[in-house]
Structure 1
Amino acid sequence: MASSGLPSAGLPSAGLPSAGLPSSGLPSSGLPSSDLPSSDLASLCSLINTKISTVARTLQLRRIAEEPVLKSVFSKIGKDLIILHGLLIKLEMEVYHQEKLRDMLKDLQKSAEKDLLEAQHLCENIPQPLKRTQTGTAMPAVKNKEQRKAVNPKQAKKPTKETRVTKKVGLITAEEFRGIPEYMRGRITYEQINTTVDEINKAVERKCKILQQPLKSMNAATRNLYHRFKEEETKGTKGVFFIVEADIKEFTELKMDKRFHIILSILRHCRRLREVHSSKLVHYIIY
């Protein structure tokens, strides 16, 4: 049905009496007054014809949907819409999983960046003892059978003094430093602790060097130190490396103040040193 089939819905285009109609529109028909110019009756007719045309078009489409030829087409369209709806649900689920994976990757990236910064900090702040190569006294190479046979029997009977590799105090790691209780650590810094460890290792190394030196090659001062070292040994220190406060005063420039004793407590807490008390001395034994 075309709108041309109803030229004016039975209304003349002009010359109608007012018939009680207000000039501002048709309130009784439910049409808003803003759609109807009060001075143009032709616009009223056009509006009514447009609405009738819309209703007629809707009825026409409804009749088309009921035709058998088009029912299969609409059914297929409905099935396709159902399939598209399922695909949209799957797409939404995939987007959700991808967003979740993105958040996990962001957290992993932040963790990796944090580890990278810590690694760079460690590389830039390597303690001095780790920068230099730690050297120990090497054991003499074992000679082969032919060389051992060629050795003079008198020389072979001479006792050889066994050399010992000096044991040193391990440095405190950044993770261990963070685990030290605040009441124990106070204002002591990470660098101060490892600097003290470095000085203690120097004292241990120099003491062991004197103990391994032949007595005949010692001067009077070194011999006095050697005898003092031997007198300070006890049953509790047999076979271990230890130092006393006198060794630290002798071989380092550390001050025996409150901060030094706090650092010793930290080293005991981190299992770098342990104390053995005798009647006169406190022996600091290296783990």
Structure 2
Amino acid sequence: MVELPTNEVVVDLDDGGRWTSLVLGGREWLWTNPALSSVPRTGFTSYIDVGGLDECFPTVRGVPDHGALWNQPWASLDEDEDWDAVQYGEAVLLRRFNGGEPPPEITESGAIWADYRLVAPPGYHFTWTAHALLDCAVGTRLIAPTGTPCRLYPEATGHLNVPWPGTAPWFEASWPSPGGIEMETYDSNDGSAIGAVLVHLSTISVRDGSDELTFSLSCPGQPVSVALWRNLGGFPDDTPYRSLGVEPMLGRVFDLDEAGPGDAAIVPESGELTWRLVISARSV
């Protein structure tokens, strides 16, 4: 048996800054796709889902799919308080782990926190997610407040008990059963693959047996949500597999081009925006 540390995050700066491991509460939480290569994806033009956690920016879906960072190498700025950085066009995104003052809610060792700093022109619009694919068992539950607005995306059409509302890019209903789809359980394979966004939500928990993982995102003055991707053997068509994506999000839509008022994060007049993601684990 391999002795695991209480908490640890491992990143691959050459492979889009991807988180390759997240150990909290004595277990690994991130899923790795065993069927795909884990070599750096630098130079690839189409997204390759190798698992772990990708930083999706400045969009999640649309162009470029899964954002523009997953195939861009990051640089370590060791002389600047352990920040790592990547540039996309006129924007620079920086990230560091467990820096600065610990979050006040951290009372035990089963937690890590990631601070982000975006430097970009005032008014710069974007969406961002920490696109985490989790290694969880059948029956894992997603815990969010009942009644949270949930935006379902077109791939859910065949599973809705109500008609799709015209040409709208999403269908909005309430958690945990939007449109009659029971979304809170990572169930057995049924051939479905559904994307959703829980809007106005800053905290969500994932309960796998007696282990519970909690994501909390803080960015005052900006739209905060949680994106979900529940794949029960429905994607891709040729070689389907299972995956559970739980993605703390700035913004309220997958595709930046579909953002209406209040749906995207906006860089303020200072030209800099900061946010913090806290991930904690406990036994229940």
TM-score using structure 2 length: 0.20
- Higher strand content, 1 or 2: 2
- Higher helix content, 1 or 2: 1
Structure with the larger RCO, 1 or 2 (CA within 8 Å, 6+ apart): 2
TM-score using structure 1 length: 0.20
Question: Rg: which structure is higher?
Answer: 1
